[in-house]
Structure 1
């Protein structure tokens, strides 16, 4: 006998499968004494036709885009501008090729089957095409040379040289009018290998504030020995790699920093993004999921068609590498015993959905058509209303992706490589992305908003440790009260790529798709759509035991995370820019001031910068703690003369901006030293200098969440639609992770993380010190600025 809930599920599941099987059969035939009896299902044939038509349209679109990209910065039509003048000159009995057309005619394989006039015409077309391709290669080479010029970044605002003005004009002329997403890829320069002497000098300068005189002298000696012995040998191998590799850093960075890590990727690698701070577009969970899923697939369509505009340096025409966009969707990190592997599929017409311990496959395309938001909402509601219980071991299956990688790799290989488990796992891994319908409520609720925001951050970062699929490129979380967020895996791309996706999703969800007055999605529902499919599992006791072991590891890691999230509302980038200061430099100096007050000392500070000015560039480290920043912090904390402090602040801010520019233009420190270390391991050579450098802890790890599409948000008329950005877990056991987003003109949001197990860190306390440091700096820059007298902690606390 079935329990009542199981009986209901069995009936629903059987009818759904039968309906899908009926639709899937396009024709049936039987052999009778009277002959062959053929039965056609025109509805099924029509769906097959429409699905095939969509597939062919995508193929044609890809071919078209390849041609357009292949001839960029020219256009396919420019071929006519070469052919027509050459034919016109030949018509006037002149040879524009200086005899080359005759040479081509002599070697034509079809010379016997064509008339003399036809041979001449064909030879002229071949010559014109070769000339056209040569011009394209020349233009591309010129554009690559222009994009290799980076001195413009180091020029003072308002004091642009004539050389830079001419350069900017030439870049605009060669950039084309309507580039596709990947049009610039072949024109981007390769990341250069910096001189080892320069890297070591910058390294020693960066560690000087943290070392005593004796320690600095010892490190200087180690660096000199390394440069004069092993370093020069490693540098030669690295330059050799840079000659043939597209990017001498990115493949090793992806493999050794991310994919070869054997610990949990949850918290340690994955990061999160939040919803709007003040607004929840609808309280209907199914409706929010419907619009969010639709917006994400619209974004995927733009990526596939390359309709997204190439990202650029703000305020310029300088393009950024878009290679990371290729793996946003249909991508999964699969575990291995020694190293993980990133698997990417060309297309996927479904998403994987988790709700209350059950996994579902939800088709979002039907007969080649993307379902409407209302139709997806209807499907999601069916999942929410489904009363069926999880299969044994299914409810906490996701914990395997949250624990250590080796046990997950072994279990996957032994128990998920065949049968029903493989089929269900394939549905999750090949899905466009993962969706969790969370049964909790999150967001800024009630009077204790900071505590709620901290819980919201922890939920997105790790959830219950089994209700997210941490291996997916990204997972969407939709809460019971309609709040949403995402969790992203880090190995395939960096935060700016995911931030761009999430900005588009939030804006499209609210401002383009929208909702009815009752909170439902817009549109109609066609009830003959295939229902969501329950994924079946056969999970033996051995796997269930490993699930609980992985869950125990993940739970201990999650419980240790201390998150504090707060929006800083006293001022934003508007006031900072009025002080003629870079907002990022202002925040980084405030973090240095806060950390010094928190620990009474300075530490190595990691600030993430990007190297996407170069092909396949990813990130570089800005070592934000400098001699100049330390001098400023000492002076301000000792309450020295204002003019003296102001001079030190300006000097420190300029130093930070210069460090950031160096990192962006390929003259950073850490990626170069990292690659030298990898080469030394390949050669079996030991370096005490490199070993010590790469073991130094980053006790303050920081990152700014970039805002890239402000045109999507009208914050002037609708300031409530402001995003909180996102954050990540602590990098060092005794340190802090700080993420911030400078959104709009009047607010900066901070995400602070640390570990409860460390007795010398406290995320809330450090967050309050950041807030106080921000206000103290503004009081220095603007004497008219008044800090609040209530609710602000003492700056020395």
Structure 2
């Protein structure tokens, strides 16, 4: 094979005159350049460790401290109050012999300066941690800021002047606190009160009281002990028991998707779109490795968010196990794995330590597209193993992929930076049925053909035949905001920085001597092929059952909502409550994902959006109460929702605490009827907002068509809905609704229509209030002039 010849650095033959050694200087030069790149990366990592290790100070600050100490000593003063003399007495004997008295004093002063500098750094980091532990600012009303918060803002601004690296704040972030068990139980009972009858609520209250008086405090002590020992008392158990120990398919049930631009496809050339996309992703990886990304912050503030999830973004795979899966992460890889028409390829994106240009990657992708070789027996649908149940995949992997060609090929996929599918279909909002095409586009990204994605990879990129793109992400290693940040950068870099020629090709030159992409070789036994068919049948049934509906809501957006002095998220969540009530005739337990990344290694918490206040508003509106009363109840429900969201963000949520108590009870081998009932309650309405985090990358005024569609996920409950939404600009909100065809009571399109109607009805209610207020002001204005 061509790539095998390129890999040979030297050849030798034995002749009568001896050994004839023939060196390939080009290959040796590539080895040398690759080694240089590797060492540069090591030096960069060491440098970053030092910089972030002393943050919020800088390495150069040591010099100022040392000069200050030496200058003070030169003025015949002892700033150490005798410590320098004591250090001098304890210097090694060799230094006493080799250095003069003045030299010994200088060394002692430098040692003291270093110790003082380290002490100051520890003090600064402790102060920064205290500042980041202050969360009262989040609960203060706009325009009514306390003096404490004003001082805190000033101090945070001082600490934030120095430009941090990606992980600079990690060690200064506070640990997630363990809520009081009585507080959690009272909040839980409050959250379920509108969903239960009087007798059901009395029974639940009794179970909660029995739990608190008997088992609760014992479990709480173990949990507090873990909180003292672990960096985050939730995250490792959440990753292990919610994601990695799940034995069902991760396709649809766990993985989620992200879409391309709504109205624009930068190029219709499939290979060119792949070239720019791969380049943008590798540039992002370079920024992550060098820690050049600015840490994410709470929007509109200088408050940093935990960046730990970025560490496993690339070169990561979820490998199956019989009892539990394992996340495997490799330090680096210079290639990506590519799937096209049933064949797998390894595509090297670096050569001699240099990242290939977008045009060169396009050239290599086109060579894959032009390759007419057929798949090996059993190769075409091999990816179905990652889409079906986990135990059969683990058994097949253990038995048939541990050695030989299968192991080499599987390693190439699992160790790749990420996975690329060159899809032979066309997708996007196109043709005579744009609404239906968006739905099919979502389904394609969520599950594809059930065998043409590698669902175990941290994320898989899909490039369609018409140039449209998207991604499918595995959920255990990170949450959607981390992947959304990556995808925003990729789309913006692809469209606005890398760009395309007039013919739609990538820019740059091509080295025609590039070796062919390496075709992966498999030896798929009949047993594996049988299991592939079984896994595909399971996955196909799951995929066929998913009902996806994607629609952009264009009538108004956050701009008009904010004019009504309402939080856009609260407006959307209350609209979803109204839509669900109209769709199903009642209320349900509602899951809204909130982040806990204000804390170290924080992930998510649940906001229970269905509250007694939201239910009161919906009932009032549907029963025909006065507009004034409905508006009053709406604002109460909105304020309640905002408070619930703030509590979840600041570590006072309900569900992660109860989940961890349940895990402790299982470790202790004790049963709790209360915890069992709580953890078995279905989330029939599961919602999540995809945040737009890098507005500076998108110029929506000059490029209004370059707006994101966001992404979505499958339904959590068999008889429920999954709803994802993204607020784009001031006038657009994109929705992704999912449910199951097998449930006769749910319909994604029907629920989508209910959401739009709820939006219109609530806005009409609030707009009537705004009109009455403006007319009232107008009628009072002449009177005020007379008074003046």
- Structure 1 unaligned spans of 5+: 1-13, 787-797
Taking the aligned partners of 1:24 and 1:290, their CA distance within structure 2 comes to 24
Cα-to-partner distance string for 1:499-558 (whole Å, 9 max, x where unaligned): 000000000000000000000001111111121010000000000000000000000000
Matches within 5 A, 1:233-272: 233-272=218-257
Contact 2:139 2:646 survives alignment (8 Å):
yes
**Structure 1 residue 401 and structure 2 residue 382: aligned?**
no
Matches within 5 A, 1:157-556: 157-556=142-541
Q: How much has 1:769 moved relative to structure 2?
A: 0.2
Taking the aligned partners of 2:565 and 2:769, their CA distance within structure 1 comes to 16
**TM-score calculated relative to the size of structure 2:** 0.97
**Structure 1 residue 76 and structure 2 residue 59: aligned?**
yes
How many residues are paired up? 769
Which residue number corresponds to residue 766 of structure 1? Answer: 751
Taking the aligned partners of 1:111 and 1:433, their CA distance within structure 2 comes to 58
Matches within 5 A, 1:677-756: 677-756=662-741
The structure 1 segments of at least 4 consecutive aligned residues displaced by more than 6 Å after TM superposition are: none
Which residue number corresponds to residue 774 of structure 2? Answer: none
Taking the aligned partners of 2:235 and 2:769, their CA distance within structure 1 comes to 47
Q: How much has 1:21 moved relative to structure 2?
A: 3.4
From 117, 133, 147, give the equivalent of 1:132. Answer: 117
Give the 3-state SS of the residue equivalent to 1:301 in structure 2. helix
Give the 3-state SS of the residue equivalent to 2:753 in structure 1. helix
From 569, 572, 575, give the equivalent of 1:590. Answer: 575
Q: How much has 1:728 moved relative to structure 2?
A: 0.1
Which residue number corresponds to residue 779 of structure 2? Answer: none
Which residue number corresponds to residue 76 of structure 2? Answer: 93
From 77, 88, 98, give the equivalent of 1:113. Answer: 98
Contact 1:730 1:754 survives alignment (8 Å):
yes
Taking the aligned partners of 2:393 and 2:98, their CA distance within structure 1 comes to 66
Which residue number corresponds to residue 8 of structure 1? Answer: none
Q: How much has 1:31 moved relative to structure 2?
A: 4.9
Structure 1 residues 646 and 784: alpha-carbon distance in aligned structure 2, compared to 1, 3 A threshold? closer
Q: How much has 1:422 moved relative to structure 2?
A: 0.1
Cα-to-partner distance string for 1:441-491 (whole Å, 9 max, x where unaligned): 000012322211111000000000000000000000000000000000000
Q: How much has 1:32 moved relative to structure 2?
A: 4.1
**Structure 1 residue 27 and structure 2 residue 10: aligned?**
yes
Give the 3-state SS of the residue equivalent to 2:566 in structure 1. coil
Taking the aligned partners of 1:530 and 1:22, their CA distance within structure 2 comes to 9
Taking the aligned partners of 1:778 and 1:785, their CA distance within structure 2 comes to 10
Contact 1:460 1:487 survives alignment (8 Å):
yes
Taking the aligned partners of 1:323 and 1:573, their CA distance within structure 2 comes to 30
Taking the aligned partners of 2:685 and 2:68, their CA distance within structure 1 comes to 63
Q: How much has 1:38 moved relative to structure 2?
A: 3.1
Give the 3-state SS of the residue equivalent to 1:348 in structure 2. coil
Contact 2:564 2:770 survives alignment (8 Å):
no
Q: How much has 1:172 moved relative to structure 2?
A: 1.6
Contact 1:74 1:176 survives alignment (8 Å):
no
Cα-to-partner distance string for 1:15-60 (whole Å, 9 max, x where unaligned): x2xxx33332323344544455332211111111111111011001
From 525, 543, 562, give the equivalent of 1:577. Answer: 562
**Structure 1 residue 647 and structure 2 residue 632: aligned?**
yes
Cα-to-partner distance string for 1:382-403 (whole Å, 9 max, x where unaligned): 0001000000000000000000
Contact 1:101 1:120 survives alignment (8 Å):
yes
Taking the aligned partners of 2:270 and 2:125, their CA distance within structure 1 comes to 49
Give the 3-state SS of the residue equivalent to 2:78 in structure 1. coil
Taking the aligned partners of 1:740 and 1:342, their CA distance within structure 2 comes to 28
Taking the aligned partners of 1:228 and 1:101, their CA distance within structure 2 comes to 59
Cα-to-partner distance string for 1:240-290 (whole Å, 9 max, x where unaligned): 000010000000000000000000000000000000000000000000000
Matches within 5 A, 1:593-612: 593-612=578-597
Taking the aligned partners of 1:479 and 1:737, their CA distance within structure 2 comes to 25
CA RMSD of aligned residues (A): 1.1
Give the 3-state SS of the residue equivalent to 1:537 in structure 2. coil
Q: How much has 1:118 moved relative to structure 2?
A: 1.6
Taking the aligned partners of 2:685 and 2:534, their CA distance within structure 1 comes to 31
Q: How much has 1:718 moved relative to structure 2?
A: 1.2
Matches within 5 A, 1:144-163: 144-163=129-148
Which residue number corresponds to residue 35 of structure 2? Answer: 52
Give the 3-state SS of the residue equivalent to 2:360 in structure 1. helix
| Higher alpha-carbon deviation: 90-99 or 80-89 | 90-99
Taking the aligned partners of 1:24 and 1:547, their CA distance within structure 2 comes to 34
Contact 1:779 1:785 survives alignment (8 Å):
no
| Higher alpha-carbon deviation: 165-174 or 107-116 | 107-116
| Higher alpha-carbon deviation: 165-174 or 499-508 | 165-174
Give the 3-state SS of the residue equivalent to 1:782 in structure 2. helix
Taking the aligned partners of 1:309 and 1:775, their CA distance within structure 2 comes to 39
Give the 3-state SS of the residue equivalent to 1:581 in structure 2. coil
| Higher alpha-carbon deviation: 24-33 or 530-539 | 24-33
- Structure 2 unaligned spans of 5+: 772-788
Contact 2:596 2:602 survives alignment (8 Å):
yes
Taking the aligned partners of 2:769 and 2:667, their CA distance within structure 1 comes to 59
From 760, 780, 785, give the equivalent of 2:765. Answer: 780
| Higher alpha-carbon deviation: 631-640 or 470-479 | 631-640
Taking the aligned partners of 1:192 and 1:445, their CA distance within structure 2 comes to 49
Contact 1:730 1:753 survives alignment (8 Å):
yes
Which residue number corresponds to residue 24 of structure 2? Answer: 41
Contact 2:6 2:515 survives alignment (8 Å):
no
Which residue number corresponds to residue 793 of structure 1? Answer: none
Q: How much has 1:654 moved relative to structure 2?
A: 0.3
Q: How much has 1:374 moved relative to structure 2?
A: 0.5
From 528, 541, 559, give the equivalent of 2:544. Answer: 559
Taking the aligned partners of 2:756 and 2:622, their CA distance within structure 1 comes to 15
| Higher alpha-carbon deviation: 50-59 or 20-29 | 20-29
Taking the aligned partners of 2:67 and 2:614, their CA distance within structure 1 comes to 63
